[in-house]
Structures are given as C-alpha cells and as structure tokens.
Amino acid sequence: MTITLRRHYQNLSRHGLTIAMALLLVVLVVAPLFTIFIETLTPRSGSGVNAWVDVLASRLSQNLFWRPTINTMIIGLSVAIGCVLLGGFLAWLVVMTDVPGRPAIAFLATLPFMIPSFATALAWGSVFRNGRVGGGGGLLEGFGFNVPDWLSWGMTPTIVVLTAHYYALAFTVIAAALSTVNGDLVEAAQMTGASRKRILFGIVLPIVTPAIIAGGSLAFAGAVSNFAAPALLGMPVRMQTLSTRLFGMIEIGQTERGYVLAILLIGISAIFLGLGNRLLSGRRSFATISGKGARPRRFALGRSRLPLAVIAWTICIMTTILPILLLAAASLAPSSLSLFSDWTLHYWIGESSPAFARGQPGILHNPQLISAMTTTLILGASVALAANIIGILIAVALARQTTPVLSSLVSQLSFLPMLLPGIAFAAAYIALYGAPIGPFPALYGTKLLLGLALTAAMLPFAVQTGRATVTQISGDIDEAARMTGAGFFRRLGAITIPLAARGLAAGLLISFVNVIGDLAITILLYTPTSPLLAVLSYSYASDGFHQFANAVTLVILITSMLATGAAALLRGRRRQNFA
C-alpha cells in the first residue's frame, strides 16, 4: 500500500505541471464550450431546448439560420478560393521565380493579416460607398459615378475585403511548402523538355496540395467566423451571416438562440477543417523532404518577369499600403465624396461644435477615446502577459514532462481556440461565467471576463511561440540545475525564461497586436464602463461618423504596426543569435 502511494506521489510530482495545465485548459477552453451546449438542452419555459426548434425548424428559422448559413457558406468558400489563388500566386512568384523585389513582396504579403478586417472594410467604404443607407457616399460617387448597391454593400465587398485580409494565411503556408520542393525534380523535368506550365501543374501543384488545402481551410474558418466585415458592409442592407445573427440574438437578450447559432457556427468550421484533414490523410505521396540535400530551383520568367512583378506589387499595395492611405485621407476629409480636398484636423483635435459633425469633438478631445486607449493598452498588455506565462508553462510541460495521452490532450486543447470562431467563443464565456458559480459572483460586464476570454483566445499563439523557443534549450541544462537542488520555479526564472527571452518577447507582441485589433470577442463582452478602441471604431461607423471611425482605426493600426515591427526586429535578432 505504501509503495503504491509513493508511486502515485512520484507520478504526480513528475507530471504535476502537465496535469495542472490540462486542468487550466479545461477551465479556460472546454468548460465554456460544454456550458453553451448544456444551456441549449436545459428545458425551460420558452428557452433552452426550444431554441433548437426555433432556429432550425420554425417559421423563424429561414431568417435565423438558413439564409445566414447560405450567406456564410458563400462567403467562406469564395474567400477560401480567392485566398488560395492570391496567396498561391504570390508564394510561387517569391519562392520559385526570379521576379524582382522578392523579399519586399514576401514582407508585404504577410502584413494584411495584421491589419484588422474592419480597417479594410472602412477603407472600402471610403471609395465605394453609396448614399443608400445614409452617412454620405464615397470617393467614386463624388466623381459622379453611380455606384451600384452590389459593389457598395453586401456579399461582393465582404468577400473582397475578407480575401484581402486572409490571403496572407494562404501565402505563408504555401510559401513554406514551396520552399521544400526539391529543385532536382524541376530540373529533371526541364531536361526532358517539359514546359513551365507542365511542371507547375504536373509537379509543383501536386506536391504542395497539403499546403493549398491547409491555407484554404484556415481562410474558410476565418471568413465564416469574421464579424467586422459583414457587420459593416452587410448589416446596413440586412445581409446577415451566422456571426452577425449570433451577435444580434445575444444583443437583444435571446441568448439561448444565440448559443444554438454559436454551436452551429463551430460545427460548420469543424466540419470543413475536418474535411481538409481527411483529404490530406487519404494521400500518401506528399513527401518532399528526404535525407538528400535539396536545391531550390527558380523559374526564369523571361518577358513575363516585369508584368508579373507589376501584378504582384499591385496586389500587395492595394491590400496593405492603399487601405492605410485611404483611412488617413478619410479621417481628414469632411466628406468621402472628396477625399483629397478641404482637409481638416477637426476629427482628430477639434473642439465640440454644434455646426460641425453634429457636435462631436475630435477623437483626441473625446474622453471616450482616452478611456478606450487606456483600457485597450492595459488589457492588451495584461492578456499578452497572462497568455504567454501560461504558454511558456505549457511549452515546458510538453517538452520536459511528456506523457503520450496527457501531453497530446494538452497540445490539442491549447490549439483549439484557434479553430473556434471568436464571437462563438465569447458567447460560450457569457454562458459559463455570465452567471454566479457557487460562491463566485457573475463576471458578465466586468473586465475580468473580457480578459479571461481574450487570454484563452491568445493561447495558440503563446503556446506555439513558447514551444519554438523552449525546444531549442537543451534539457541537459535544466537537468543539471535540478540535480543541484533548484526547484521548478527557480529553474524557470533563472534558466528557461532568460534563454527564451527574445522569442517570448516576440510572442508577447504578437498577442498584444491580436488583442487590440480584436472585435469578434470584444463586441460581445465589452461594457460602457470598459470601452475599447476596436468597439469605439465600430460604434462610430455604425452611427455614420465615418471620419471618426477612420481616425480611431488609424490609432489601432499605428499601434499594431509599431508592435509588429518590434516583434519582427526581435525575431530577426534571435535568428542572428542562433546562426
């Protein structure tokens, strides 16, 4: 009996960190998701299980679920295809051709994902908006063009904006796959007289099929869960998606119906990600890395070199630099009809005047902006710190305390928030922590609830960054310190964190950037006492104050780009240190 207890104690001490991290992930990730499912099955008067009937099989279901689902699927599939085409084209140019300016194209092609989707949506409105829903038209209408509704609002602009936002994901994944293609295969095909088209479609594309599927799956999952773009470009003309309909249900107090929509939205994302994985598991001919050295091989584009370079630069400029310039101009122009004349700083520093902008002061004179900026920065820093502390602990547990089943569970749970729609994740947190739990009070309407949800959502970034740095630290160092009597936290503070400092700093900044630009989670969990920059920008845009919305969005962009630049600098220095 004593031997058995001692063995259990030894196992607990050896795997205690992994067990603790598993329990923490259950609290942060599993419990909220389980709660929304239980909430929709609880029999209540006019709610609970009846919400499933209302959403799926009632007179309301056409507007509650089926029409938004069709819109969501059209957007998701269109964006996935567009992202694969754009991202794959740019990845092919950068990795496998001699197109000029490859490093700059590669850098610009990764930036759109760092620009919040609502920023690109606002930039689109500055040019293509018409006066159908109030707030004035855009630049093209100012030039005298009759901008059709389909170009100003609804499905088309939403697809274009989301494709411009998510193609960076496909580019990153496909470029990484193309870099592993053995140049000997291409050279052998050329020696047999195969054309470049034959090589591309017969060798390169089949090899990078996993990356194409993965990039398309990620773009699809992001598009179907995105709230900002369909809310700004679709809701004004009553085009609803599952994410905007979910927000509407919870906003008007029909929470059970909202929870049902959240479960269905998660299910749709999971089904398509699962189909992608199934396609990959059914193929076994994707291997491109062997024990032999591989030489990269670039296609000589010849006369097509300059035209393709122009196309690539046009794509990058239109999805990165142009939206920022349009937002800057739109924050200074009294009317979007004339973006580049009569500029004024009123929307930035103007005092309140009844004769101007309906009495709205410039954002820098608006107490809401100062409060939102302070709250956003504090929240971003706090969430980034908390997520990365948990991330490094999980990384250490996975690297130092490996157990097949438990380690796999921790790894999968830590990545799960990446696959969950943000607005559905926020709904799950309302379901669990929005009401009292035993002696613990309800957290709904508090900054703590918002911080917990964002921390859980940032865990995939933090864990992946932590694992990338921790695995580079030899376990012999940690073992030597343990043998000298150093405890776990002593070893963590004296060895692991200092050696992984640069990588962890980059992880902090990446999490920070994602938090300050997040709208899907914050739109459901913010309160008037805790305004956030992203929500303030959305509120301005919804009320028709587009100049103020553009100005606030620029503040977010400037902050994000500074943090992104700092993260890139840290990663660059870290690579030099390990070179």
Query: Could you tell me which residue, 318 or 571, shows the higher pLDDT?
Result: 318
The pLDDT tens digits of the residues spanning 37-95 come to: 888 877 654 455 788 888 888 888 899 899 999 999 999 999 999 999 999 999 888 88
Region for 323 from its dihedrals, namely left if φ exceeds 0, alpha if ψ lies in -120 to 50, beta otherwise? alpha
The residue among 271, 278, 287, 276 whose CA lies nearest residue 214 is 276
Q: What is the pLDDT of residues 352-389, one digit of tens each?
A: 777 666 777 888 888 888 888 888 989 999 999 999 88
Decide: helix, strand or coil at residue 401: coil
Q: What is the pLDDT of residue 444?
A: 80
Residue pointed to by tokens 């393709």: 308
Q: How far is CA 542 from the centre of its chain?
A: 22
How large is the average pLDDT for residues 521-547?
83
**pLDDT at residue number 502:** 64
Is 38:30 a contact under the CB 8 Å cutoff?
Answer: no
Answering whether pTM is above 0.85, one says no
- Counting residues of the chain whose pLDDT is more than 90, the rounded percentage is 12
At residue 285, the pLDDT reads 44
405 vs 58, more confident: 58
What are the pLDDT digits (tens) for 90-112? 988 888 888 888 888 988 888 88
DSSP string, 217-255: HHHHHHHHH--HHHHHHTGGGT---HHHHHHHHHHTT-H
Candidates 58, 72, 454; CA nearest to 245 is 72
Classify residue 440 as exposed, middle or buried by CB count within 10 Å of its CB (0-12, 13-18, 19+).
exposed
Side-chain-facing half-sphere of 537: CA atoms under 13 Å: 32
pLDDT for residue 239: 92
Calpha distance 175→189 (Å, rounded)? 21
Q: Is 489 exposed, middle or buried, given 0-12, 13-18 or 19+ CB atoms closer than 10 A?
A: exposed
Query: SS3 for 521?
Result: coil
Q: Which residue's entry shows tokens 């919040």?
A: 116
Tell me if 15 sits within 8 A of 401, measured CB to CB. Answer: yes
Query: Running DSSP on this structure, what letter comes out for residue 342?
Result: S
- The pLDDT mean for the chain works out to 79
Torsion of Cα atoms, 150 then 155 then 158 then 163, to 10°: -110
What pLDDT does 481 receive? Answer: 59
pLDDT at position 500 over 70? no
Q: To 5 degrees, how large is the angle CA 47–CA 49–CA 54?
A: 70
What number is the average pLDDT over the span 402-417?
78
Q: Kindly report, residue by residue over 171-206, the tens digit of the pLDDT.
A: 988 887 777 665 555 555 555 555 566 666 656 666
- Mean pLDDT, residues 422-427 taken together: 85
Distances in Å between the Cα of 30 and the Cα atoms of 46, 243, 264, 429, 487 are 27, 21, 17, 10, 31
Structure confidence by residue, pLDDT tens digits, 302-312:
788 899 999 99
Instruction: Find the radius of gyration of the CA atoms of the chain.
Output: 25
Top pLDDT among 439 and 7 is at 439
pLDDT at 262 over 50: yes
Per-residue b or e along 181-210, where b marks 16 or more CB atoms closer than 10 Å to that residue's CB: bbeebbeebeeeeeebeebeeebbeebbeb
Which band of pLDDT confidence, cut at 50, 70 and 90, is reported for residue 22?
Answer: confident
Q: Which tokens hold the place of 404?
A: 């097949």
Helix (H), strand (E) at residue 43: strand 43-44
What letter does residue 446 receive in the DSSP assignment? S
- Alpha carbons 187 and 192: distance in angstroms, whole number: 9
451 closest CA partner among 542, 383, 526, 530 = 383
Q: Is residue 537 within 8 Å of residue 556, measured between CB atoms? A: yes
Residue 171 sits at the vertex; the CA angle it makes with 166 and 175, to the nearest 5 degrees, is 160
Q: Average pLDDT in the 107-128 region?
A: 86
9: three-class secondary structure by DSSP: helix
pLDDT tens digit string along 436-473? 887 778 888 788 889 999 999 888 878 877 776 666 56
pLDDT of residue 439: 79
Distance CA 530, CA 537 (A): 14
> Which among 513, 379, 516 is positioned nearest to 447, based on CA atoms?
379
Question: In this predicted structure, what is the pLDDT of residue 578?
Answer: 40
Which residue reads 């630009």 in tokens?
517
Collapsing DSSP to helix, strand or coil, 180 comes out as coil
Say what the pLDDT of residue 45 is: 44
Strands 43-44 and 47-48: antiparallel
In this prediction, residues 225-240 reach a mean pLDDT of 88
Provide the token pair at 210. 């996993």
Q: Which of 243, 263, 246, 265 is nearest to 255 (CA)?
A: 246
- The answer to which of 49-63, 131-145, 332-346 has the lowest mean pLDDT is 131-145
pLDDT reported for residue 16: 76
Structure tokens at 427: 């709904």
